[in-house]
Structure 1
Amino acid sequence: MTDHLAISPHPMATAVGNELLAAGAAAAEAAVAIGALLSVVMPHFCGIGGDAVWLAADAEGTVTAINGIGQAFSFTENVAQIEMRGPRSILTTAAAIRTWETAIALQAPGCDIAPLLEPAIKAARDGFPVGASQEFWTQFRADEIGNWLGFETYAEARQGQKMIQPALAGTLSALSENGLDSFYQGDLAARILADLRNIGINARPEDLAATRAEHGAPMQVAYRDVLLHAPPPPTQGVTTLEIMGILDRLGPAPEMGSADDYHLMVEAVKAAFLDRGRIDDADDARAYAEKLLSPAHLDERAASVDRQSARAWPHVFETADTVYFAARDRKGRCISALQSTYYDWGSGCCLPQTGIIWHNRGASFRLTDGPNRLRPGRRPFHTLTPGIATRGGKPYLLYGTQGADGQPQTSCVILRHMIDHGLAPNEALHAPRFLLGRTFSDSRDSLKLEPMRGSNALQAMGHEVSPIPALSPLAGLAGAIRIEGNEVIGASDPRGAG
């Protein structure tokens, strides 16, 4: 039995986090070390040139949401076209490191940041063996990755080979020596700005300096005997909560693994996704999200669910890539976090001096009037939605997943199996998952479904089922920790290498 635990999708990062926790570090310290190392050993999914969203909890169950979402650069006032890759997809600052600062200030103010960054510096400087996940996404982008800016090393990397990132090691060393704020102000910030200008991005010093991690109260909804917490807008955290609020009103869960159970989960997802299009960082975004979680609205959405028949689903599905990690320390403090460069390999631009792969999260903006309209200083709609559940006022579950639009769907399946069906984290992570919408390999807006005994019955209900393999990476790389007293158990997804 253990009273502390860290999980992540990479064994090197998981080991570092657990070593720190065993030595008495705060959950935030372990999580920063994990996030930094993942930025090196999983460059295809996350990095210091991206964003992050965290939930932090103290031992008494007070949860704080930390939205590290970069704002649009000043020059975006004149942008007339948004591209998905390349320099013209770089539209926002990167706020991941601001979340590290904020979490440390909450749980370990004044701690020495250098030991937390040292494993990441060493891996970048001395090298690490390329993993299967990185090679998969290198090969998946084989037709284009060789033409991306600064990607020669990444394009040639193969599983088992040693990868060295000397420029990134230098950047991490500068952060270690000069503090995390140096990413945004000072000599390192000046080098980052020069790098951006070198590839045609007219970023200003005030753009980087203005980057913030907003922190405050999370969104909440009751589900069974727990209280679920999620980050506020402009993230889709409210969508996960709305799904679970709808399911709560649909009564006790049917038999585990049955078509009836999965049908209700899928239909709750559809009902909640109907409300998602208005989520952005407008002044009234929080009030709108609170309305979605009101008893009257959840009752209305639950009443719209047909228990026997599938709702038609014409909406576009969006994919992206992320890492989830979590930690619970010996004092009961918790972190649940997601860190991302949006698409796999972000913008496809690696900055030459600093070795930073910059994200393309701003590519999710729109150029038409309405929600999520691109304007200088605005933060884009964000799919990152880590979760914490409290029971009896104490942290009970930490959970989250990679997968953009799939994040609320995967979280729904995990929570259903852990709370309603009583499964342990590892068992819940093995449960079959669904993915409503399009994927890289299937452009139909169908119900992608891992093998389960109720698939034929789901088709009879009107679901257009597209089978995907068991434990498919398309179904997200999730993680979960369960805390009961001082007994902490957890697991990272069998679909990954954590």
Structure 2
Amino acid sequence: MATLLLIASPALYADGGARAPARVATAASAAAHPPGTAIASAHSLSTQAGLEIVRAGGNAFDAAIAVSSTLSVVEPISSGIGGGGFFLLHDAKRNRDIFVDARETAPAAATPAAYLDDKGELNRDRATNGPWSAGIPGLPAALVHLAQNYGKLPLKTSLAPAIRIAREGFEVYPRLEKGYGSRREVMERYRGTREVFLADGSPPKAGEILKQPDLARTLELLGEKGFDGFYRGDVAAKLLASVKQEGGQWRAEELAGYKVREREPLRLKYRAWDIVTAPPPSSGGVALAEILQVLQGWDLSKLDPAHRTHILAEAMRRAYRDRTIYLGDPDFVKMPIKRLTSADYAAGLRATIHPEKATPSDLLSGQPAPLEDDETTHFSIIDGDGNRVAATQTVNLLYGSGLVAPGTGVLLNNEMDDFALRPATPNAFGVMGFEANAPAPGKRMLSSMTPSFLESSDRVVAVGAPGGSRIITQVLLAILAYDAGLQPQQVAAQPRIHHQWMPDAISAEAGALDAATVAKLQAMGHKVNAGESTWGNLQTVMWDKRANTLSGGTDPRNPVGQADVQPNKP
């Protein structure tokens, strides 16, 4: 396989071309509106739930509620209403882009000292498992916010597919079974979790039907009562009781006081593309702005594979260093965003890159960056009016905290590990932080989720991915692939590389770098972890305005994902 699919010529799909791109077309050209709706998500049931709501008269934002809530049912390994997410929206009627921040917030009790053991070291178990690892969930509030402010249908209508699937059940797939096996010891600590995942007396097995009646009822209450259906009343009382029973400390006013934030997205240009992406508390947009502006100094298509990878890695290295030092929750931390995203700053970074030698990171490590391919999920939507959504949601690690609050079906996140709980101590994804990302009551932990829109004179794209700290570089490679002329399915399938400053190494999937390229990179001074397991689960949709076609790409690394289209009614 060719080294990195960042070339203008067509590229093979990673699964050998077996998956055809979802597509709908009309004869029109330079169209003002797409010919239908395209949805790409990590599970076929969630994609179909979104299209069901479109057929019922909903727009992209109603479909987003359906997709998000259904993913919360069928992907507990990755996301859920006990977690949070970011929703990047484009409101076509008002020609406005909006970033909806539904990131979890820190409880008041979650001080840095609460996560240290008696030796002053980070207590990994408390940081990643059980009630202390969980932040106040934001996803339910986001679904209410979308319905009230952007959707056309009642919230209970858009939640109906998820409620039906939770009640009737869905078929367990191998990734769900495997993930449970890796987290079984933690999952089975908690009564509420056992009631869901051991309801028949044994762990979930591929092919079995998993039903979640408590989660169905919680979603019904959300649909009937809106915000109060989750953050106050019966569900809230059960969440608080469960956290307290397991030794944690949440307060009723912290749940009732949760607020979604609307923020101004970051905007940047790369070659012919206008890019709209995630601002803090996501680190993704700032890092993308740094990396892409650094790359403006080279024509990547004219570089050989080794030098192209070298330049990419050096640009990534610098952006991730700045991520570690400067970024956090904008409601708590003053950040030099204007400087970090400026062309002049990028020019200065570019000047420090030696064309033939690797720049050693400030701190060296021989450990490869921890992999994340199952946690977090993403979906992308474009509808027939030109509205679009790129949304990334998560519970953090596999099955989040492992704690399901009895009687709710709600699996709580373990996002507290995304804070710098102990300065300069790497979290589960190998990234560090300092004071800017230290926990404080009500503060949102720094994220790598990077939902993004791309627009050129003839194409409109929504894209995003899961993958922990590797989300940013997946979206980066997708942007470069679209710029090189690849189609959505090819973009989703291309092999990946990654560098995150610490550890000081290039990570590469099998097939991304050939042996000769690896040898040249090593001669430049790079440590290369070639042939790593695959990571990520990129979902993307594209509207070709000249041909007036819609197409979608779903990551072949995830066999249950689906990209599909619904033509406009005549």
Normalization by structure 1: what TM-score?
A: 0.91
Cα contact 1:72–1:376 (8 A) shared by 2? yes
Asked if 1:12 is matched to 2:60, the reply is no
Cα gap change, 1:318 to 1:206, in 2 (>3 Å): farther
Contact 2:274 2:454 in 1 (8 A): yes
Q: Which residue of 1 aligns with 2:14?
A: none
1:391 aligns to 2:433 (yes or no): no
SS at match of 1:382: coil
Contact 1:232–1:286 (CA under 8 A) maintained in structure 2 = no
Indicate the residue corresponding to 1:410 in structure 2: 474
Residue number among 103, 128, 132 corresponding to 1:85 in the alignment: 128
Say if 2:102 is the partner of 1:68: yes
Identical-residue share of aligned pairs (%): 25
Contact 1:435 1:449 in 2 (8 A): no
Q: RMSD across aligned C-alpha pairs, in angstroms?
A: 2.6
Tell me which residue corresponds to 2:343. Answer: 295
User: For residues 445 and 286 of structure 1, do their structure 2 counterparts lie closer, same or farther at Cα, with a shift above 3 Å needed?
Assistant: same
Q: Deviations over 1:155-180 (max 9, x none)?
A: 60011111111221221121122224
Q: Distance in 2 between matches of 1:283 and 1:349?
A: 29
**Distance in 1, Cα, partners of 2:197 & 2:102:** 26
Deviations 1:55-87 (A, max 9, x none): 000226521111111221122248522523333
**1:211 matches 2:258:** yes
CA 1:25 to 1:137, structure 2 compared with 1: closer, same or farther past 3 Å? same
Q: Compute the displacement of 1:213 (Å).
A: 1.4
1:242, CA displacement in angstroms?
1.9
CA distance in 2, matches of 1:225, 1:127: 46
Structure 1 position 357 matched with structure 2 position 420 = no
Q: 1:130 to 1:256 in 2, by over 3 A?
A: farther
Equivalent-residue separation in structure 2 for 1:123 and 1:318 (angstroms):
33
| Matched residue type, 1:484 | D
Amino acid of the residue matched to residue 77 of structure 2?
H
User: After superposition, where does 1:233-248 map in structure 2 within 5 Å?
Assistant: 233-237=280-284, 238-247=286-295
Runs of 5+ consecutive residues of structure 2 not aligned to the other structure: 1-24, 26-34, 116-122, 424-433, 562-570
Q: Distance in 2 between matches of 1:246 and 1:495?
A: 30
Partner of 1:269: 316
1: CA distance, partners of 2:240 / 2:151: 30
Q: Does structure 2 conserve the Cα–Cα contact (< 8 Å) formed by 1:9 and 1:492? A: yes
Displacement of 1:284 after TM fit?
A: 7.5
Distance 1:69 1:224, change over 3 A: same
2:434 matches 1:380: no
Post-superposition Cα deviations, 1:369-391, rounded to whole Å, max 9, x if no partner, equal 72212221211111222111233
AA at the equivalent of 2:450: T
Counterpart residue type for residue 170 of structure 2: F
Q: Where does residue 428 of structure 1 map in the other structure?
A: 491
Q: In 1, Cα distance between the equivalents of 2:213 and 2:353?
A: 54
Distance (whole Å) between structure 1 residues aligned to residue 68 and residue 218 of structure 2: 15
Provide closer, same or farther for how the CA distance between residues 205 and 418 of structure 1 changes in structure 2, counting only shifts above 3 A.
same
Give the alignment partner of residue 141 of structure 1, picking from 154, 161, 183. Answer: 183
Does 2:395 align with 1:341? yes
Amino acid at match of 1:466: N
Cα distance, 1:292–1:318 mapped onto 2, change above 3 Å: farther
**Number of residue pairs aligned between Structure 1 and Structure 2:** 488
Contact 2:497 2:506 in 1 (8 A): no
Partner of 1:165: 212
SS of aligned partner of 1:405: helix
1:411-432: CA deviations, max 9, x gaps? 111111111x100010112211
The residue number in structure 2 matching 1:480 is 540
TM-score by length of 2: 0.80
Higher relative contact order (CA 8 A, sep 6+): 2
Tell me what 1:311 maps to.
359
CA contact (8 A) 1:52 1:95 kept: yes
Change beyond 3 A, Cα 1:374–1:333? same
Q: CA deviation at 1:144?
A: 4.7
Residue number among 386, 389, 396 corresponding to 1:332 in the alignment: 386
1:182 pairs with one of 229, 254, 259: 229
- Aligned mates of 1:201, 1:28 — CA distance in 2: 35
Residue ranges of structure 1 left out of the alignment (5+ in a row): none
1:260 to 286, 303, 307: 307
Q: Secondary structure at the match of 2:403?
A: coil
What is the match of residue 449 of structure 1? 509
Pick which of 184-193 and 124-133 moved more: 184-193
C-alpha displacement of 1:148: 5.1
Match for residue 29 of structure 1 among 56, 59, 62: 62
Shift in Å at residue 119 of structure 1?
A: 1.5
Contact 1:397 1:482 in 2 (8 A): yes
Equivalent AA in structure 1 for residue 403 of structure 2: C
SS class of match (1:80): helix
Distance 1:31 1:357, change over 3 A: same
Query: Counterparts of 1:395 and 1:25 in 2: how far apart (Å)?
Result: 24
Deviation at 1:437, TM superposition (A): 6.2
Which stretch of structure 1 is more off in the superposition, 212-221 or 188-197?
188-197
Please say if residues 78 and 398 of structure 2, whose CA atoms lie closer than 8 Å, have aligned partners that are also in contact: yes
Instruction: Tell me by how many angstroms 1:286 deviates.
Output: 6.4
1:456 is displaced (CA, Å) by 2.2
Contact 2:238-2:406 at 8 Å conserved across structures: no
